Amino acid sequence: MSREQRARVDAMMRQGRHEGPATVEEMRAGFRALMAGMKVPEGLRTTPAELGGRPALRVEPEAGPRAGTILYFHGGAWVFGSPETALSLTGHLVAKTGFGAYSLDYRLAPEHPFPAAIEDGVNAYRALLDGGEDPAGIVFAGDSAGGGLSVTACLAARDAGLPLPAGILAFSAGLDATRSGESMDGKAGADPVFTRADFDRTSALYLAGADPRQPLLSPAVHADLSGFPPMLLQVGTNELLLDDSTRLAVRAREAGVDVVLDVTAEAPHVFQALVGELDEAEEALDRAALFLTQRIRPRDTRVGG
């Protein structure tokens, strides 16, 4: 990552900040506009779908997918975003692995606060299982709030007695609604995307009065990760949410879970979406794709399966 790339991306991200309190609709429109500029690879087929009672976007290679499924949860602070805004990330994972993905249009706050998104994630996963998919062929993945949802949906699925997916891939995940990580203040000047006030606003909309000190809201602080599948946590050092990932990695290791904490220096929040702007974005996606191909092993592709 060149000095010029870092400076250009930092300036671009800071330019996108909204001055003063924004309405929910302004936040949603601004995020759509930002993500519309992200590069989507060629050679993909996207079709509307339904999964667990919610709309979803099916993303797959034009030539057809290999066996296995990425269940993707988009970012957007629980308040904005959609499968379309995450298409750059989902598309690159599909293009690099050959797997098909379902990107879930889970319910958003403030219209649908906690735990609606988690319920939708579990229902989507249950629908895949009920449709005959092997859990060993499914990985949960997501960015930002969706990265957090990949973890909390797995917690809820485990507690509901469902077999767990083969792995979890999380980009810059939001994993602590208590906002108690040191990076929340220590990275305030370095983060070009968010301020603590931003998180206070969207968290209040999502929590709707719920106590943040519980596993499904703050897994980096309060979750028991026993029995969890392997995880890859990617995060940049220039983001307030850095310690969400570093602390979850510690909890995972202490619970005996295979975990890779992949930290990229001087990279901003969800830098993987910046293909063409940051060299590290492509490199991080390559590492993510390797993780997916190592983890997704449905029965019909495993030796002796």
Residue numbers annotated as active site: 144, 239, 269
CB 243 within 8 A of CB 182: yes
Report d(CA 32, CA 21) in Å as an integer: 18
- On the CB side of 123, CA atoms within 13 Å amount to 17
Tally the C-alpha atoms within 13 A of residue 288's C-alpha that lie toward its C-beta. 34
Q: Comparing C-alpha atoms, which of 277, 267, 270 is closest to residue 236?
A: 267
Neighbouring-strand partners of residue 277 = none
Separation between Cα atoms, residue 162 and residue 159, nearest integer Å = 8
The alpha carbon torsion through 251, 240, 70, 166 (nearest 10 deg) reads -10
The first and second tokens of residue 52, run together, are 């667990």
Closest CA to 241 of 109, 149, 147: 147
Order of all β-strands in the sheet with 66-73: 44-51, 54-61, 99-104, 66-73, 138-143, 167-171, 231-236, 259-264
Structure tokens at 117: 């998104």
What is the C-alpha separation between 298 and 295, in angstroms, rounded?
9
